[in-house]
């Protein structure tokens, strides 16, 4: 989804996953600096020039955050398509791996991606230990100050790993797709996405199955929540409903009847592999197998980095809840939820005791004004591209436009929204399909949806905008089609 301004093309792709929907002042001011630092360092490490200007922008009129698509395209071009974070440069869309003239640049990028892939498990483990420590704090002033200082570097480190691995998986997948296009043209393009169904080792997918089981089996809940309690609907927001802290939401999963399981997703993948390898001779099969294994490994690594980043957001939520208690006690805000409408620097002043009760009227007025500025319903940006498959399959069911915390989805529902929120994956096990306005094939939610074997059509903002809650929706992801029915 792109938007044109005087300074170039700006896109919601990538930015929509980090800043879903309308972004509150706290989320924007807390995450902007580490996200921009991570972007710059990622491109520098891979060997591309960093964007000259700020790569993220929050529009005042709709509260949505955008990324500088022109700068990211320029970086991908400098890397000769060896890595990219959103759509690759058009001139590199054909023959991506036949770039012998830029071998040194490509090898450097691949080496950096491989190094990040090797270290991501350790990063995930360290971040989990840090989150457990944060959750156990009593939140004395010293605790508030220490976590305040640690949030930004934790966010920057996990985001840099995520950006690097996400840039790598896009290029690795392009190798697979490019070879198949050369050898099997024409072939059903939806088949290639099925190669990622049933993929093991993805925290988002492991959480989906584990949380769904734990909702019905109290014996597994403690262990499951210890491992995956930081996940949950709207998990990128500092007011998310996380499984560990939302027993009512967890109970809402108990009456969901799963339509999928790991075995059914693997059967889909095996069928796609059998079809593809049945069309290839032994030499070509030997060439494609390591390329596919590499792309799958990078999917796992990217999802691990995303899981670590979600842990940082969960820690930020703990911190901001503690700050909210301080702010309410000082009569700076009327209710805890108002804290999200304060900026990070303002909250730091609360943590250090620099604010005092005499400023209460001024702060409450500011909160009201900021709430009103974000209250209006606004149209989703249009990507300008036709809908396309993000995960193959067909389904028909009632449209679901709400959030699980507000209204539980009906069985077999077609989920429609700006993005596919990976934190909702436990509910997707009983969903019919997904339809997103965003056209980002490698967002965390799409990686999880493919692995779960859930049909998805992406880049369909018109369908998302026109759908009414409960209306009948038919999704044919193999034909890149969404039909709204009366």
Res 357: pLDDT: 62
Are 456 and 422 contacting, i.e. CB atoms less than 8 angstroms apart?
no
3 state DSSP class of 457? strand
- Segment 293-343, tens digit of pLDDT: 999 999 999 999 999 999 999 999 999 999 999 889 888 888 999 999 999
- Segment 452-486, tens digit of pLDDT: 999 999 999 999 999 999 999 999 999 999 999 86
3 state DSSP class of 425? helix
Q: Does position 282 have pLDDT exceeding 80, yes or no?
A: yes
Local confidence band at 100 (pLDDT 50, 70, 90 cut-offs): very low
- Say how far apart CA 321 and CA 308 lie, in whole Å: 20
Q: Does position 145 have pLDDT exceeding 90, yes or no?
A: yes
Question: Helix 25-46 and helix 344-351: axis angle, to 10°?
Answer: 110
Q: Does position 73 have pLDDT exceeding 50, yes or no?
A: yes
Q: Does position 3 have pLDDT exceeding 50, yes or no?
A: no
- For the chain, the average pLDDT equals 90
In the chain, the percentage of residues whose pLDDT exceeds 90 is 74
Are 105 and 80 contacting, i.e. CB atoms less than 8 angstroms apart?
yes
Least confident of 97-106, 220-229, 272-281, 423-432: 97-106
Res 210: pLDDT: 96
Q: Does position 85 have pLDDT exceeding 50, yes or no?
A: yes
Mean pLDDT of 377-398: 81
Res 261: pLDDT: 87
Top CATH class of 388-485 equals alpha beta
**φ/ψ (deg, to 5) at 65:** -100, 140
Q: Does position 383 have pLDDT exceeding 90, yes or no?
A: no
Res 7: pLDDT: 39
Least confident of 108-117, 366-375, 380-389: 380-389
Are 166 and 302 contacting, i.e. CB atoms less than 8 angstroms apart?
yes
Res 378: pLDDT: 57
- Say how far apart CA 172 and CA 169 lie, in whole Å: 5
Q: Does position 263 have pLDDT exceeding 70, yes or no?
A: yes
Q: Does position 101 have pLDDT exceeding 60, yes or no?
A: no
- Say how far apart CA 163 and CA 257 lie, in whole Å: 35
Res 381: pLDDT: 64
Mean pLDDT of 401-413: 94
- My answer on whether omega of the bond before 298 falls inside 30° of 0, hence cis, is no
How much is the pTM?
Answer: 0.94
Question: Helix 141-184 and helix 25-46: axis angle, to 10°?
Answer: 50
Helix (H) or strand (E) holding 218: helix 218-228
- Say how far apart CA 337 and CA 356 lie, in whole Å: 19
Q: Does position 61 have pLDDT exceeding 80, yes or no?
A: no
Q: Does position 387 have pLDDT exceeding 50, yes or no?
A: yes
Percent helix / strand / coil, the chain, rounded to 5: 55, 10, 35
Local confidence band at 9 (pLDDT 50, 70, 90 cut-offs): confident
Q: Where are the domains of the chain?
A: 388-485
């Amino acid at each position: 989804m792109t938007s044109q301004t005087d300074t170039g093309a700006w896109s919601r792709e990538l930015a929509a996953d980090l800043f879903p929907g309308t972004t509150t002042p706290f989320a924007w001011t807390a995450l902007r600096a580490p996200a921009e630092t991570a972007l710059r360092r990622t491109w520098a490490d891979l060997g591309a020039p960093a964007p000259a200007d700020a790569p993220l922008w929050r529009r005042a009129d709709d509260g949505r955050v955008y990324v500088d698509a022109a700068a990211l395209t320029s970086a991908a071009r400098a890397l000769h398509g060896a890595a990219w974070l959103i759509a690759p440069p058009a001139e590199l869309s054909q023959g991506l791996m036949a770039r012998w003239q830029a071998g040194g640049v490509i090898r450097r990028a691949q080496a950096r991606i491989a190094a990040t892939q090797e270290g991501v498990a350790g990063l995930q483990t360290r971040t989990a230990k840090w989150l457990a420590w944060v959750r156990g704090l009593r939140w004395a002033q010293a605790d508030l100050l220490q976590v305040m200082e640690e949030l930004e570097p934790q966010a920057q480190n996990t985001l840099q790993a995520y950006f690097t691995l996400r840039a790598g998986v896009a290029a690795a997948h392009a190798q697979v797709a490019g070879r198949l296009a050369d050898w099997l043209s024409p072939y059903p393009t939806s088949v290639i996405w099925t190669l990622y169904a049933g993929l093991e080792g993805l925290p988002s997918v492991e959480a989906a199955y584990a949380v769904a089981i734990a909702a019905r089996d109290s014996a597994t809940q403690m262990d499951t929540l210890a491992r995956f309690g930081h996940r949950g609907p709207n998990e990128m927001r500092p007011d998310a409903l996380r499984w560990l802290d939302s027993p009512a939401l967890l109970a809402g999963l108990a009456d969901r009847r799963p339509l999928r399981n790991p075995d059914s997703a693997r059967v889909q993948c095996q069928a796609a592999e059998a079809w593809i390898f049945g069309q290839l001779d032994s030499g070509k099969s030997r060439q494609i197998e390591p390329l596919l294994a590499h792309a799958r490994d990078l999917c796992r690594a990217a999802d691990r980095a995303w899981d670590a980043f979600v842990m940082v957001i969960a820690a930020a939520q703990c911190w901001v809840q503690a700050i909210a208690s301080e702010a309410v006690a000082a009569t700076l805000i009327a209710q805890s939820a108002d804290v999200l409408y304060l900026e990070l620097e303002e909250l730091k002043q609360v943590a250090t005791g620099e604010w005092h009760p005499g400023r209460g009227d001024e702060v409450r007025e500011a909160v009201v004004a900021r709430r009103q500025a974000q209250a209006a319903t606004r149209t989703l940006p249009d990507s300008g591209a036709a809908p396309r498959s993000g995960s193959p399959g067909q389904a028909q069911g009632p449209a679901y436009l709400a959030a699980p915390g507000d209204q539980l989805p009906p069985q077999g529902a077609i989920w429609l929204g700006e993005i596919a929120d990976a934190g909702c994956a436990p509910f997707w096990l009983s969903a019919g399909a997904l339809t997103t306005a965003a056209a980002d094939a490698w967002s965390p939610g799409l990686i999880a949806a493919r692995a779960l074997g859930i049909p998805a059509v992406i880049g369909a903002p018109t369908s998302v905008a026109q759908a009414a809650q409960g209306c009948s929706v038919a999704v044919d992801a193999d034909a890149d089609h969404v039909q709204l029915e009366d």
